[in-house]
């Protein structure tokens, strides 16, 4: 695995490392180096060399640095000359770090390949609100669409006629950083669909979700019946969708309506009055326990974790703990 060194003036590198762990989970072979006011260039270079020596693979090292021409970059640049397999990218930001984590999950990836893949993603992470302030991008020559565009006549069959679910997730927060970055990069959807009767009638939440979509992926908010209809419509046969449910109850309604969902990621179920905490992200009441048991009886497989880097929780142990603690508080 490619080792990553985050380097900056002050504590920026350590702060980004901590923030990235909240989104992606703790990562091995990632170190941070900070230039403090009391340090000189030689001190920083020695610190960089010390941290690189802790990495598992010292042949493949990627440096993510705050500023081109600054002291951290200059010291790293001096080290690159003797290490042709190392690479450095400046302009470090959170999207860049998260993308680097994602790309190095490929065990064959090199530091140079990851560095090449970071540039556009880092730029796409810089956005502005209101959108009218966004500079106009140069117009690219558009390739011919591979599928019909605009209104597609009813009865048209695209692909094999069956929508593909790259991820089905229960998450009280729906579309947020962990979903928009790590899960989206891991699963590669072309649409994110929030399935909720409540949210579909809340214009403010709908707008916020649509604006939170990562670059290149469309976000939609639909009521449960609409999702049931879409799942049966052959016009969506070329669609790769990530489905997000606010509650397991919404998921159950969808499955009972005929949507073929075999595996579900339990990411987050927020605590509220009457619920018991069973993991650091999952809280349940009796209705949740009964709903999840019904889903399991229908053959649904559960993957209980917040981000791909986490080790999955044991579903049966989690359910046993929920029942025990609910019985104790009754």
Give the closest residue to 172 by CA, choosing from 326, 50, 329, 282. 282
Q: Specify which residues 11 forms β-bridges with.
A: none
What phi and psi, each to the nearest 5 degrees, are found at residue 161? 85, 5
Cα distance between residue 174 and residue 243, in whole Å: 9
Q: Which two tokens stand for residue 174?
A: 């729906």
Interacting residues of 162 by C-beta distance below 8 A, sequence separation 6+: 234, 237
Cα distance between residue 323 and residue 285, in whole Å: 9
CA 180 to chain centre: 5
Give the closest residue to 96 by CA, choosing from 60, 129, 120. 120
Catalytically active residues are 9, 176
Cα distance between residue 284 and residue 290, in whole Å: 10
Give the closest residue to 308 by CA, choosing from 105, 11, 12. 105
Residue 130: asked if its preceding bond is cis (omega within 30°), the reply is yes
What phi and psi, each to the nearest 5 degrees, are found at residue 145? -65, 145
**Ordered alpha helix ranges (H), the chain:** 12-24, 41-52, 71-80, 94-103, 111-124, 177-178, 184-187, 197-200, 203-211, 224-231, 248-256, 286-297, 315-329
Give the closest residue to 274 by CA, choosing from 262, 288, 260. 288
């Amino acid at each position: 695995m490619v080792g990553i060194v985050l380097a900056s003036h002050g504590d920026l590198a350590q702060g980004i490392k901590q923030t990235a762990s909240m989104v992606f989970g703790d990562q091995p072979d990632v170190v941070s180096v900070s230039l403090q006011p009391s340090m000189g260039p030689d001190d920083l270079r020695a610190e960089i060399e010390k941290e690189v020596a802790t990495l598992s693979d010292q042949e493949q090292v990627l440096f993510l640095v705050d500023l081109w021409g600054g002291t951290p970059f200059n010291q790293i640049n001096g080290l690159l000359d003797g290490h042709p397999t190392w690479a450095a990218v400046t302009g470090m930001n959170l999207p860049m770090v998260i993308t680097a984590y994602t790309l190095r999950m490929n065990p064959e990836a090199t530091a140079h390949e990851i560095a090449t893949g970071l540039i556009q993603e880092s730029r796409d992470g810089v956005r502005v609100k209101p959108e009218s302030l966004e500079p106009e991008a140069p117009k690219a020559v558009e390739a011919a669409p591979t599928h019909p565009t605009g209104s597609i006549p009813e009865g048209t069959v695209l692909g094999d006629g069956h929508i593909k679910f790259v991820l089905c997730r229960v998450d009280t927060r729906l579309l947020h950083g962990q979903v928009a970055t790590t899960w989206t990069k891991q699963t590669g959807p072309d649409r994110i669909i929030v399935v909720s009767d409540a949210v579909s009638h809340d214009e403010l939440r709908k707008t916020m979700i649509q604006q939170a979509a990562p670059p290149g992926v469309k976000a939609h908010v639909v009521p449960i019946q609409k999702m049931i209809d879409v799942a049966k419509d052959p016009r969506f046969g070329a669609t790769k969708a990530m489905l997000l449910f606010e509650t397991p109850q919404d998921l159950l309604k969808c499955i009972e309506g005929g949507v073929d969902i075999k595996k579900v990621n339990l990411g987050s179920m927020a605590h509220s009055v009457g619920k018991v905490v069973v993991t650091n992200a999952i809280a349940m009441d009796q209705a949740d326990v009964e709903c999840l048991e019904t889903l399991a009886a229908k053959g649904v497989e559960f993957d209980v974790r917040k981000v791909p880097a986490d080790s999955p929780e044991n579903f049966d142990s989690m359910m046993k703990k929920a029942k025990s603690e609910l019985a104790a508080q009754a």
